[in-house]
């Protein structure tokens, strides 16, 4: 075996290596989008804000209370049937509201926000009137729905009989209804108030403005507001539009012996090539030439 037997495999290996150097993996870029925020919703069966004046004092006692107040994101629900205030009627608790059914519910996520309040067979009392109801209702319901990309909707309803200070009344959607009882007081009722904007909705089934003068049980005057069946919501932002993927193409440089930078064509970066691609390709061609020359020399050696 002579030395020429090693030259032919070496030439083939050089040529094969040159072809391998010419190949390079492609480059890819990916992108994504973000999602919007959640909506908001809330409901309450009763909300009362009253100022109570006491006969033996020169000050007013502010009284605020709510029943079954809930709020979302997530899901919330309450079903308490009564609420009381303490320390007003001669130190005795006052039952502000009692009902057979009193529910409130609110849900909200990234697509929809919704709230609802319901009352069935409910009676409301204020300090100084332990036996006479401020208002009695058979049924009250309010609902607010805010869905991403859609117009918010608010609805409320007070079906059945309504009694104010012992008097049955017929409510009108065209304006407030006033009920006055001598030596007792005045109540103004507003029916089914709703309001919507491009992103919010609110509903209150029954709103009462109260001014009563019972003049007993140490109470001189009660003024304020009582709201029954309140619901509101705010639309979620919704998912953000998906952004198209863009390749991250940047100029690439290779430092020369003098410290100067050489910028390659952007097309080379897009296909996965780098700044050394021209040199690699040139080197591969040189190796191919060397391999071919070695092959010719090997064949001549055999021929000789």
CA 283, 287, 288 angle in degrees (round to 5)?
115
Q: What SS3 state is found at 13? A: helix
CA–CA gap between residue 200 and residue 235 (Å, rounded): 6
Q: Which residues are CB-contacts of 109 (< 8 A; sequence separation ≥ 6)?
A: 38, 39, 73, 236
Phi and psi at residue 220, to the nearest 5°: -90, -45
CA angle 61, 65, 66 (to 5 degrees): 170
Taking only the tens place, the pLDDT of each residue in 19-39 is: 333 333 332 222 333 345 899
- Here the tokens at position 153 are 């909707």
Report DSSP state, residue 59.
Answer: S
The pLDDT assigned to 76 comes to 92
d(CA 294, CA 9): 10
C-beta atoms surrounding 194 within 10 Å: 17
pLDDT band at residue 246 under the 50/70/90 scheme: low
Q: How far apart are CA 29 and CA 19, in angstroms?
A: 27
How deeply is 60 buried, as exposed, middle or buried, from its count of CB atoms within 10 A (0-12, 13-18, 19+)?
A: middle
What is the C-alpha to C-alpha distance for residues 95 and 126, in angstroms, rounded to an integer?
A: 8
Q: How far apart are CA 187 and CA 210, in angstroms?
A: 5
pTM, entire model: 0.64
Confidence band, pLDDT 50/70/90 cuts, at residue 300: low
**Cβ proximity of 194 and 154 under 8 Å:** yes
What is the tens place of the pLDDT at every residue in 174-192? 678 888 888 788 899 888 7
CA-CA distance, 21 to 192, in Å (whole number)? 80
Confidence (pLDDT) at 98: 94
Q: Report the alpha-carbon distance of residue 137 to residue 203 in Å, rounded.
A: 17
- Picking from 227, 193, 231, the residue whose alpha carbon sits closest to that of residue 115 is 231
**Dist. CA 44–CA 67, nearest whole Å:** 6
- Name the most confidently modeled range: 128-142, 205-219, 254-268: 128-142
Matching residue, tokens 């403005």: 209
Per-residue pLDDT of 114-132, as tens digits, reads 999 999 999 999 887 878 8
Coil/strand/helix, residue 265: coil
Asked whether the beta carbons of 102 and 122 are under 8 A apart, the reply is yes
């Amino acid at each position: 075996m002579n030395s020429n037997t090693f030259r032919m495999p070496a030439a083939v290996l050089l040529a094969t290596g040159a072809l391998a150097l010419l190949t390079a993996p492609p480059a890819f870029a990916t992108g994504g989008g973000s999602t919007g925020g959640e909506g908001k919703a809330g409901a309450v069966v009763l909300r009362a804000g009253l100022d109570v004046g006491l006969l033996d004092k020169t000050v007013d006692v502010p009284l605020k209370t709510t029943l079954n107040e809930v709020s979302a994101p997530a899901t919330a629900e309450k079903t308490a049937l009564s609420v009381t205030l303490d320390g007003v009627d001669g130190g005795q608790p006052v039952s502000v509201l009692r009902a057979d059914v009193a529910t409130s519910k609110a849900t909200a996520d990234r697509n929809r926000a919704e709230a609802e309040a319901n009352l069935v067979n409910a009676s409301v009392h204020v300090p100084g009137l332990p036996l006479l109801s401020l208002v009695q209702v058979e049924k009250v319901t309010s609902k607010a729905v805010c869905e991403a990309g859609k117009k918010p909707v608010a609805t409320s309803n007070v079906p059945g009989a309504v009694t104010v200070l012992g008097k049955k009344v017929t409510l009108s959607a065209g304006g407030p209804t006033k009920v006055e009882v001598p030596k007792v007081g005045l109540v103004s009722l507003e029916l089914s108030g709703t309001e919507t904007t491009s992103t919010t909705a609110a509903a209150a089934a029954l709103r009462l403005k109260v001014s009563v003068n019972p003049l007993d049980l140490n109470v001189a005057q009660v003024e304020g507001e009582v709201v029954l069946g309140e619901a509101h919501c705010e639309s979620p932002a919704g998912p953000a539009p998906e952004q198209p993927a863009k390749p991250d193409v940047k100029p690439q440089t290779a430092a020369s012996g003098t410290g100067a930078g050489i910028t390659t064509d952007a097309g080379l970066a897009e296909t996965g090539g780098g700044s050394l691609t021209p040199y690699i390709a040139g080197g591969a061609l040189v190796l191919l030439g060397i391999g071919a020359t070695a092959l010719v020399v090997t064949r001549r050696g055999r021929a000789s």
